Amino acid sequence: MINCKTNQFLEDLHHYVPGQSIADIKQKYQLNQVVKLASNENPLGPSVVLDEIKESIDAERYPDTTGLALRQALASQLTISPDNIVCGNGSDELMTMLSQVFLNSTKSIVTADCTFSVYEFVASTCGAKTIKVPLQDNTYDLGAILDAVDDTTSLVFIANPNNPTGTLCSHNEIELFLEKLPSNVVLVLDEAYIEFANESVRPLASQLLHKYPNLIVLRTFSKLYGLAAYRLGYAMANAELIQLINKVKPPFNVNSMAYEAGVKALEKSEFIKKSLHVNEKGKQRLYQFFNELELNYEASEANFIYVELNRSARDFCNECLKHGLILRPLTSFGRPNAIRVTIGTESDLDFFETVFKSVWKV
């Protein structure tokens, strides 16, 4: 029995519940075909394969500390400076680093009550409190979030589009929010899915960050670019805020393959176009499918759809698993009767519709 005193807040820590893996479900139910629409991965596969980068990797060498080549490529695409960018081992790690810079047991964060759970997780690892503001019409209620900000608030986390509801706050809404947000509170705008959102409405991060030194925008290569296995994310902000993160950044936090693949991925305009096209087509098809079943869903600005089943999502998803379909019940998000479906390819959705219908009717 270990009797070293651990940090007290560990006891309240809610761990993230990951999606189940295809291999596990194949083995468990002895299935040949399993379709996973549970983790919002790119159904077309990765934008970059290992063959494209293997020549440039010195696997025995430590990675570049700051990922300069990737920061330069990103900077030129985003028309900002490399000094406005820091890379992370997935955007999750950037959230951890933000918590190390700004949070402790006397601080708190404000976010929504039904959103990505890692915000609360990283706050908890520092002993900070999480204030959860209810969504309004499945959308971040920016007014109520402002009201919830108090003297202890250091960070506000907004997932935009929101995971799991797929709803978006527009450029104007975010700018208005930043105008009203006390300047000693940092807005962490998590844009993991932003590339899927309506271009005419979504925030222009690169414009906003020159105006608001308390804004930091997080992006990932795990979704549109299909590189979840590599672990690569980045943050954009005022150079001063980036410097603060660099203070706590571990020296070799991102692996060399991720840096190389990231640079290559930015050049894959055809892959990106195709991914967006497949997503749009699949979205319309799923809307129609849920309409036919008279199920309530949320119009999505991302690569997944939030659907209300009016029955136990856990039970429904467990039944689907037996047929080789992995979906995400939103029980851990506080919505026990709702699921999140990643938008798949045409053949993924053929399979999805068949399994869904048969389980739905049982």
Residue 310 to residue 333: CA distance in whole angstroms? 16
Are 215 and 266 contacting, i.e. CB atoms less than 8 angstroms apart? Answer: no
Interface of this chain with a second copy, residues 121 to 140, rule: CB under 8 A: 121, 125-127
Spatial CB neighbours of 277, under 8 Å, sequence gap ≥ 6: none
Annotate each residue in 141-180 with x if it binds a second copy (CB under 8 A) or - if it does not, as one string: -------------x--------------------------
CA 74 – CA 84 distance, rounded (Å): 10
Least distance CB 311 / a second copy (angstroms) = 28
Binding-site string for a second copy from residue 46 to residue 65, where x marks contact by CB under 8 A and - marks none? x-xxxx-xx--xxxxxxxxx
Position 191 contacts a second copy (CB under 8 A): no
3-state class of 68 per DSSP?
helix
The interface with a second copy within residues 90-109 (CB under 8 A) comprises 90, 92-93, 96, 100-105
* Burial annotation 21-37 (CB, 10 A radius, 16+ → b, else e): ebeebeeeeeeeebbbb
By beta-carbon proximity to a second copy, the closer residue of 138 and 153 is: 153
Q: Please choose, out of 84-92, 156-164, 280-288, 321-329, the segment that lies near a second copy by the rule CB under 8 A.
A: 84-92
For residue 348, state whether it binds a second copy (rule: CB under 8 A): no
In the structure, how many helices (H) and strands (E) does the chain have?
A: 13, 13
Q: Confirm or reject binding of residue 270 to a second copy (CB under 8 A).
A: no
Q: What is the chain's alpha carbon radius of gyration, rounded to the nearest angstrom?
A: 20
Collapsing DSSP to helix, strand or coil, 331 comes out as: helix
Using CB under 8 A, which residues numbered 194 to 253 contact a second copy?
213-214, 222, 226-231, 238, 240-241, 244, 246-248, 250-253
Interaction between residue 277 and a second copy (CB under 8 A):
no
Which CB atom, from 168 or from 205, has the smaller least distance to a second copy?
Answer: 205
Find, among 101, 122, 108, 85, the residue nearest to 234 by Cα.
85
